[in-house]
Amino acid sequence: MQIRRASLPVDSDSVWAILEPTIRAGETYTLPRDMSREDALDYWFAPGHEVFVAEEDSNILGTYFLQSNQQGGGSPVANCGYVTAPWATSRGVARAMCAHSLDRARERSFTAMQFNFTVLCHERQCDSAVIRFEFSASMICFPWNRPFSMKISPVCRPPITTPAR
């Protein structure tokens, strides 16, 4: 798998194919579920976002952007947005993009990386979701050879139901 800088005109169809299901699901990004293709690509490729794609055999399997987490005093802290294609999960794509983003953040002289996690599950799935989430978090707790701690506070909600018509 190769991770390379994304090109908006060349990679836009593939990136949109990865972003669209995530946006429509509305579970991890606070973006409008009906966001248009153009608006989604404008968001992902926004000024200040350095965008990359994970590619294998000319197929894009995931994408991420690297940005400064805040302006001013928060600007030395990096932040990323990651999305793996639904058809490419459990293949190490997210892990590879995360490792690449940490290396790239160091190259850009960021002093830390802030990770934001979303855990949303049905009540009966909470125990197993928390175990997977804690394992995922432990894979990325190695930035800059400093002690690193993370507070994990999963929030479980009952299933969302659609009102009867």
pLDDT per residue as tens, the chain (165 positions): 999 999 989 999 999 999 999 999 988 888 999 999 999 999 999 999 999 999 999 999 999 999 988 777 777 788 889 999 999 989 999 999 989 998 999 899 888 887 766 544 444 444 444 444 433 333 333 344 444 444 444 444 444 444 555
Tokens describing residue 81: 């947005």
CATH T-level fold of 2-116: Aminopeptidase (3.40.630)
What burial class does residue 50 get, using C-beta atoms within 10 Å of its C-beta: 0-12 exposed, 13-18 middle, 19+ buried?
A: middle
Distance (Å, whole) CA 28 – CA 25: 8
55 SS3 class: strand
> Domains of the chain: which residue ranges?
2-116, 121-165
Please identify which residue in the block is written with the tokens 């707790």. Answer: 141
